[in-house]
Amino acid sequence: MEKERISASQLFALIFLFEMGTALVIPIGFSGQQGVWLSILLALFGGILLFLVYDYLFRQYPDLPLSGYAQKILGKYIGWPLSLLYVPFFIYIAARDLREAGDLLVTTAYNQTPTIAIVALMIVAVVYVLRKGIEVLARTGEIYLLILIILGTLGNIFLLFSGVIDVKNLLPLLEKGWKPILSTAYPKIFMFPFGEMICFTTIFPYLNKHQSGRKTGMAALVFSAVVLSLTHAVQICVLGADMYGRSTFPLFTTITKVNIANFLQRLDAIALLTLIIGDFFKISIYCYAAIIVASNLFKVQKNQNLLWPIGIIVLFSSMMIANNLPEHMQEGKLVLHFLLPLFSVAFPLLLLVVQLIRKRFGLFTSTISADDKG
């Protein structure tokens, strides 16, 4: 493994930016009901429990990524092919996020620009940063975390002074009872964005202080959930539940409502920058996860050798996965109900159960050979 190291604050920034991603700008959970902000907070509890599973496995093998300890726990003949499945999974989700960003930008601001041009520029930026290593990406994340917070604060202040926030749009909160709230939280929001934390099983080994990972990760998840809940609540207050649910890009629609004294208007750039920043880090982390797993499985000495091949695959996959944005969103529901539960919950729980059985019956060994560190 490379000798790069990231601090707890840098891990916090990466997790927060990753969780924001596209979850900040689209109708999260594919829901248009008033209580979606509450669903986010309820899904947080499941997200924290799932994170603790990842953290436990990481603490058992602190120098190994997911693919490394999967082979240790399940054995090479089961762990290796199981880990290999994560490479196309990470690539596919990265391609989805890339296409999502491209379609949203074309729909809202760059309607004369081909989608391929936008996604190509973004993937070039991703490859460029990843060539510098995870440490540079993490340092960049610290800077953009601050920028994102400033943009969000300014956006909410402008909306408040525009007088377009109507808290009554959040009511009635439980018009149809708790069932719609819970069904939106589980499995939808639980899987997206909290279940996507599986990517960080490839980044945890780079922490300079392994013991700080648990508190940092939990703090980042709580902060992310609060920000997401507040942001979507504001969007519903401005647009109403019906328009929020029908809007492809509710954050963009919300920010266009800003009008202070007929002078301060057209603040679309805030929404666009939010999308670009969040999606850039999300794509970068997914690509990095694919690279780390592939490097570990195939014993590639330099991760940089896989950057362009994976980047190109992500680029062309993003253009082939759907013909248009509605089809892309519809396909996303299948991802929520099948792919993410399988790779983010089922496989890690399998590793957890087998690991606990191994420890219980004395089959656990803490010895890690040098070539397993990949």
CA nearest 91: which of 349, 368, 309, 356?
309
pLDDT reading at 311 higher than 60: yes
CA nearest 2: which of 180, 93, 136?
136
**What letter does residue 321 receive in the DSSP assignment?**
S
360 or 73, which is more confident? 73
3-state secondary structure of 357: helix
Query: Among the listed ranges 79-93, 232-246, 280-294, 351-365, which one has the minimum average pLDDT value?
Result: 351-365
Query: Among the listed ranges 139-153, 162-176, 190-204, 229-243, which one has the minimum average pLDDT value?
Result: 162-176
Query: Among the listed ranges 130-144, 176-190, 301-315, which one has the minimum average pLDDT value?
Result: 176-190
Predicted pLDDT of residue 369: 41
Q: What is the DSSP string of 157-195?
A: HHHHHHT---GGGG-STTTT-SHHHHHIIIIIIHHTTGG
Average pLDDT over residues 184-196: 92
Average pLDDT over residues 165-171: 90
Predicted pLDDT of residue 187: 87
Q: Which domains, from first to last, does the chain contain?
A: 8-352 (1.10.4160.10)
Counting residues of the chain whose pLDDT is more than 70, the rounded percentage is 95
pLDDT reading at 151 higher than 60: yes
Would you call 248 exposed, middle or buried from its count of C-beta atoms within 10 A (0-12, 13-18, 19+)?
middle
Predicted pLDDT of residue 361: 81
Which pTM does this prediction carry?
0.93
Chain length of the chain: 374
Contact 66, 83 (CB under 8 A): yes
Predicted pLDDT of residue 32: 56
Helix or strand (DSSP H, E) at 287: helix 268-298
Q: What is the DSSP string of 81-115?
A: HHHHTHHHHHHHHHHHHHHHHHHHHHHHT-TTS-H
Contacts of 263 (CB under 8 A, 6+ apart): none
pLDDT in tens, 18-27: 999 889 888 8
- How far is residue 353's CA from residue 292's CA, in Å, rounded to a whole number? 24
Predicted pLDDT of residue 241: 86
Per the listing, tokens 């996303």 go with 332
Predicted pLDDT of residue 363: 60
Contacts of 169 (CB under 8 A, 6+ apart): 34, 236, 237, 238, 239, 240, 241
Predicted pLDDT of residue 157: 93
Average pLDDT over residues 358-372: 57
Predicted pLDDT of residue 30: 63
pLDDT reading at 374 higher than 70: no
Q: What's the whole-number average pLDDT of the chain?
A: 89
Average pLDDT over residues 116-144: 95
